[in-house]
Structure formats: C-alpha cells, structure tokens
C-alpha cells in the first residue's frame, strides 16, 4: 500500500484545523499509519525543504515552518500520493479549487495550511526524515473491505 507524508503547518494548527484535515483523509478512506504534534528544528526544516534552498522565499519558509507546532502524519492508501495532492489543492490558495483544503481554508501562498509529498521519492524521503520505522503502524480496519 502506498504511503505519503502529510503535515498540518503552523498556520493550520493555529487555525484549529487539525481535526478537520484528519477527518477529510479519514472519510476519504485512507488509513493513518502514524502522527505526532512536533516542533520542527531549523536543521530539520532546512533538510525537508532542501529542494527550495536557492529560492527567494527559502528563509521565510524555514522561519514559518519552525514558528510553531506542526502535526506530522503518515497516511496510506492506493494512489494516495497523487490523490492527497488533489485533496490539498494548488500550492497558491488563490488558485486552489473550492472543496480542496487550501481552496477552502487558505488565502496566501506562504500560509497554505498543509504540506504533502509530491512523488514516491519525496514521500519516502520525507517519511524517513520525520518518523522512525517503529512509529508507524501497519494494520487493517473492517472498513477497508468496503473501501477496496
Ligand atoms: O509542494 P507545495 O507545498 O504545493 O509547493 P512547493 O512548490 O513545494 O513550495 C513549498 C512551499 O513553499 C509552499 O507550500 C509554500 C511556499 N512557497 C512560497 O512561500 N512562495 C512561493 N512563491 C512558492 C512556495
Ligand atoms: Mg512541495
């Protein structure tokens, strides 16, 4: 089963959206494999966003993601990496469709509520940056028989 890394960013935590966001993925039929509220260090933030280190917004991005607690999660399900990106909506909430998380709750690009891995390679990399293998649980639910 495919896994992805999702994270409610400090704005989403502050906006009291953890439950709403967890609920969307849960109702969709995806299964939570691990989760924790955490304060990201400067070092972890720079590793997580390493692909953006030459971009003009990099320092602000690192400052923002370390500005308060985040809710880090690993979710699993068929085709979850691409589907979760669709459920999040476009990076800029101004362009994100209504019905998506960013479209419904965000206004500006630098405060766009949620992070989600964009490919199998980044999912693998990000999951291992944020979680130890023994923090992730494989299990099945009775509902899975009705989802698959
Ligand atoms: O993967 P995703 O979060 O949708 O977008 P990325 O292009 O990876 O950018 C990461 C992060 O950087 C984005 O969620 C907000 C922030 N950002 C920004 O502040 N200003 C931009 N012009 C582009 C991205
Ligand atoms: Mg990205």
- The three-state secondary structure class of 80 is helix
112 in a structural domain: yes
Classify residue 148: in a domain, yes or no: no
Strand partners, 70: 38
User: Does the annotation count 115 as an active-site position?
Assistant: yes
Quote the CA–CA distance of 60 and 37 in Å, as a whole number: 22
Q: What is the pLDDT of residues 8-62, one digit of tens each?
A: 999 999 999 999 999 999 999 999 999 999 999 999 999 999 999 999 999 999 9
Convert the pLDDT of each residue in 78-121 to its tens digit.
999 999 999 999 999 999 999 999 999 999 999 999 999 999 99
Cβ of 4 less than 6 Å from ligand 1: no
Residue 52 lies in a domain: yes
When divided into structural domains, the chain yields a total of 1
Confidence of residue 64 (pLDDT cuts 50, 70, 90): very high
Is 134 inside a domain boundary? Answer: yes
Give the per-residue pLDDT at 103: 98
Residue 83, domain member (yes or no) = yes
CB 8 within 8 A of CB 71: yes
- On whether ipTM exceeds 0.85, the answer is yes
Q: Residue 70 in 3-state DSSP?
A: strand
Q: What does the pLDDT read at residue 124?
A: 98
Between the CA of 121 and the centroid of ligand 2 the distance, in Å, is 12
Expressed as residue numbers, the domain containing 116 is 1-140
Residue 147 placed within a domain? no
Pairing state of beta strands 3-8 and 70-76? antiparallel
Ligand 1 centre distance from Cα of residue 110 (Å): 7
Domain presence at residue 85: yes
In a domain, residue 39? The reply is yes
pLDDT bracket for residue 73 (50, 70, 90): very high
- Give the domain CATH number at 76: 3.30.70.141
């Amino acid at each position: 089963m495919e896994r992805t890394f999702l994270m409610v960013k400090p704005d989403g935590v502050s906006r009291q959206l953890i439950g709403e966001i967890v609920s969307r993925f849960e109702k969709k039929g995806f299964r939570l494999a691990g989760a924790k509220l955490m304060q990201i260090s400067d070092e972890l933030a720079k590793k997580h966003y390493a692909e953006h280190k030459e971009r003009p917004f990099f320092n602000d991005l690192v400052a923002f993601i370390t500005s308060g607690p985040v809710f880090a999660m690993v979710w699993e399900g068929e085709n979850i990496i691409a589907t979760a990106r669709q459920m999040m909506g476009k990076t800029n909430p101004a362009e994100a469709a209504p019905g998506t998380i960013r479209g419904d709750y965000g206004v500006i690009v630098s405060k766009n509520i949620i992070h989600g891995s964009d490919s199998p390679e980044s999912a693998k990399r990000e999951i291992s940056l944020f979680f130890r293998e023994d923090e992730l649980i494989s299990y099945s639910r009775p509902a899975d028989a009705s989802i698959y």
